[in-house]
């Protein structure tokens, strides 16, 4: 009888340890994706600053009536905006993955 009790205690301890390890693993994955999302947001900020800079150039060259430069900077604005929205989309996807891993960690801890 004593050996069965000890075996049950060991099994419960082993299961708890396994579940905690799994939860910590999920938590590390969530932190990774949170860092990824932050990096994507920083890059998106960079592209937004580029857009603002290019818009100032467009305004300047419009006043100078240099339509070739205006056209060039407008195409650069479009490219920078495309990159900006792409980075925001990547950040959103990384946030969703992080949230999913946090949910998984919570589920492991509930078991």
Nearest to 95 by CA among 39, 52, 15: 39
pLDDT tens-digit map of 90-111: 999 999 999 999 999 999 888 7
What local confidence, expressed as pLDDT, does residue 95 receive? Answer: 97
Q: Which residue's structure tokens are 């205006």?
A: 70
pLDDT tens-digit map of 38-93: 999 999 999 999 999 999 999 999 999 999 999 999 999 999 999 999 999 999 99
DSSP 8-state assignment for residue 110: H
Against a cut of 0.75, is the pTM above it? Answer: yes
Helix, strand, coil in percent for the chain, rounding step 5: 95, 0, 5
- The rounded distance, in Å, linking the Cα atoms of 62 and 91 is 35
φ, ψ (nearest 5 deg) of residue 66:
-100, 85
């Amino acid at each position: 009888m004593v050996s069965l009790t000890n075996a049950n205690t060991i099994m419960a301890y082993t299961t708890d340890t396994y579940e905690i390890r799994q939860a910590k693993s999920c938590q590390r994955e969530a932190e990774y994706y949170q860092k990824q999302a932050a990096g994507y947001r920083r890059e998106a900020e960079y592209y937004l600053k580029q857009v603002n800079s290019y818009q100032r150039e467009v305004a300047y060259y419009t006043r100078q009536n240099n339509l070739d430069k205006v056209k060039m900077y407008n195409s650069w604005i479009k490219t920078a905006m495309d990159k900006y929205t792409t980075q925001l989309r990547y950040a959103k996807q990384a946030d969703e993955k992080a949230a999913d891993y946090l949910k998984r960690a919570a589920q492991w801890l509930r078991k």
